[in-house]
Amino acid sequence: MTIDFTPATIHQLEPSDLVQEDRVAARVYTDPEIFEREMTQIFEKTWIWVAHESELPKPGSFKSTYVGRNSVIVTRDRKGAIHTLVNRCRHRGASLCEKPRGEANGFTCPYHAWSYGLDGRLRGIPYPDGYEGVMSKDEMGLHKLRTESYRGLIFATFDQDAEPLEEFLGDVRLWADRFFKQGGGYPLKVLGTHRFRFRGNWKIQLENTTDGYHFPIVHRSWMSSVDGETADMLSFMTDPASTCHDLGNGHSVMHMVPAHIDLDADDGSEPLQPRFDGLVAELREGGADDAQIRKLVRAMHGTGSNLNLFPNVGLSSAFFRVLRPVSVDETIIEHVALGVDAPEEIAGPIRRERLRIHEHFQGPFGFGTPDDAEGWDRVQRGAQACPEMPIMVNRGLKREADAPEGWATSHSTDETGMRAAYRMWKKMMSNG
């Protein structure tokens, strides 16, 4: 059923009615009450990406992050198990950890020194005699989220009854497996993060990771700053092999470089880009063989796909793109650069080249992210006018077809991925 958005009804409609198959009312970007519901019905209900295992390399490693608006600490305990703990002391609620990452034996609250283990257990209370007969330490561990990982991607959820992570990911797993092939046989490793904030709703960024349509327009300056081979590689606008699949549960995958979808599928015909000649020589000197060099160099720009996981992470070409909603019109984005975990003779040159590519697009002086962010700011400013006027997500609606795997599929410039995400949004916002 189509419900009309009108100035008279727009503020009465339920959030779930604001999302239709081909359009979304602008109110979903601007209404603080909708934002509150999203935080509880989406961000505190489903699996949220919190870290990559390489960020917690040893027992005692930790990383601070957020699940929705809840500050959490992701830890690796002495036995190697990973925990996601709410960063809030059980005594009177002080935050326990203000460091972004590091190593610790546990966490001691700076206020009255209650101390907790890496697994969240309450280990010690100063002057414990006042607590005799009042409470037991066993009941006062840190609040713990369910935590599961897939291929080193760590997710956490507040919902103890959520479906297992692997079920939630479903067919995403195939594409995540392919994403990790860019390590050329070595594990991927987080190198560092560019972080920035924009004055706009989180869903604007969620849409953007699956938006191939804006690429040649917004990223014109980037396209003109790269060599011809790279520009050609990303000229997917009229390539029918460049597709987008709806993978279910709000997830989707969009391919910009179809030849790199599966980096193991290589008929040897694609020449390596001459800009990497120096890198090839260095890798050869470092002892890598030709087949391995070819794998690593072909993967320099990643997999040429954006795998968009609802609601907060994209495995985007060669990096992770993570979003954190702050308020209805404020969002933090992290672009997490990836390298390979290999002997230094190989990891070093690869790291240097990948970081240069990352800075060139994602960095604060890069050509890509500032242009995207300008577009997102403008969507938010524009959406303040006429909250009943729809945002269109109808591109390619009539040319969607089912892939043999059953995924609704259209061209990469179509809005199939956004429709997938909004369908999940609507489902989650309809409950309760």
Query: Which residue ranges make up the site for ligand FES (CB under 6 A)?
Result: 89, 91-92, 94, 109, 111-114
Residue 256 contact among ligand FES, Fe ion, none, beta carbon within 5 to 8 Å by kind: none
Minimum distance, C-beta of residue 157 to Fe ion, in the bound complex (Å):
29
Nearer to ligand FES, 94 or 392 (CB): 94
Is 372 among the residues that bind Fe ion (CB under 5 A)? yes
**Least CB distance to ligand FES at residue 99 (A):** 17
Partner that binds at residue 282, options Fe ion, ligand FES, none, CB closer than 5 to 8 Å by kind: none
The answer to the question of residue 414 lying near Fe ion (CB under 5 A) is no
Residue 131 contacts which entry, ligand FES, Fe ion, none (Cβ below 5-8 A, type-dependent): none
Listed ranges 87-95, 97-105, 287-295, 365-373: which one lies at the site for Fe ion (CB under 5 A):
365-373
**Which does residue 114 touch among ligand FES, Fe ion, none (CB within 5 to 8 A, set by kind)?**
ligand FES
By a kind-dependent CB cut-off of 5 to 8 A, residue 392 interacts, out of ligand FES, Fe ion, none, with: none
122 vs 379 by CB, closer to ligand FES: 122
Least gap, CB of 190 to Fe ion (angstroms): 22
Cα–Cα distances (Å) from 412 to 153, 233, 381, in that order, read 25, 14, 27
The region of 6-14, 18-26, 65-73, 371-379 touching Fe ion under the rule CB under 5 A is 371-379
Number of residues lying near Fe ion (CB under 5 A): 1
Residue 372 interacts with which of Fe ion, ligand FES, none, CB < 5 to 8 Å by class = Fe ion
Nearer CB in complex with Fe ion: 5/361: 361
Q: Is 207 in the site for Fe ion (CB under 5 A)?
A: no
Contact criterion met (CB below 8 Å) for 369 and 361 = yes
Q: Which stretch in 9-17, 91-99, 101-109, 370-378 sits in contact with Fe ion by CB under 5 A?
A: 370-378
- Considering beta carbons, is residue 95 or 149 the nearer one to ligand FES? 95
Distances (CA, A) of 264 to 144, 175, 404: 39, 13, 21
Q: Which is nearer to ligand FES, 112 or 195 (CB)?
A: 112
Burial class (CB in 10 A: 0-12, 13-18, 19+), 136: exposed
- Choose between 75 and 308: whose C-beta lies nearer to Fe ion: 308
Q: Which residue has the tokens 């993570």?
A: 322
The least distance separating ligand FES from the CB of residue 291, rounded to whole angstroms, comes to 56
Q: Cα–Cα distances in Å, from 178 out to 139, 210, 303? A: 43, 18, 8
Cβ 143 to ligand FES shortest distance, Å: 14
Shortest distance in whole angstroms from residue 88 CB to ligand FES? 9
Hey, CA dihedral for 178, 182, 188, 194, is it positive or negative? negative
Partner that binds at residue 92, options ligand FES, Fe ion, none, CB closer than 5 to 8 Å by kind: ligand FES
Query: Which partner from the list ligand FES, Fe ion, none does 91 bind, CB cut-off 5 to 8 Å by kind?
Result: ligand FES
Nearer residue to Fe ion within complex by CB, 46 or 317: 317
Here the tokens at position 307 are: 């795998």
Q: Of the candidates 309, 301, 234, 240, which has an alpha carbon nearest to the alpha carbon of residue 272?
A: 301
- Least gap, CB of 170 to ligand FES (angstroms): 41
Calculate the dihedral angle through the C-alpha atoms of 420, 421, 423, 427, rounding to the nearest 10 degrees.
140
> Per CB under 5 A, which region of 184-192, 297-305, 368-376, 413-421 contacts Fe ion?
368-376
- The one-letter amino acid at 26: A
Give the C-alpha distances (Å, rounded to integers) separating 160 from 44, 46, 216. Answer: 11, 10, 43
Q: In the complex, what is the shortest distance from the CB of residue 127 to ligand FES, in angstroms, rounded to a whole number? A: 11
**What is the C-alpha radius of gyration for the chain, rounded to an integer number of angstroms?**
23
Q: Cβ closer to ligand FES: 16 or 95? A: 95
CB 323 within 8 A of CB 332: yes
Q: Using CB under 5 A, list all residues that contact Fe ion.
A: 372
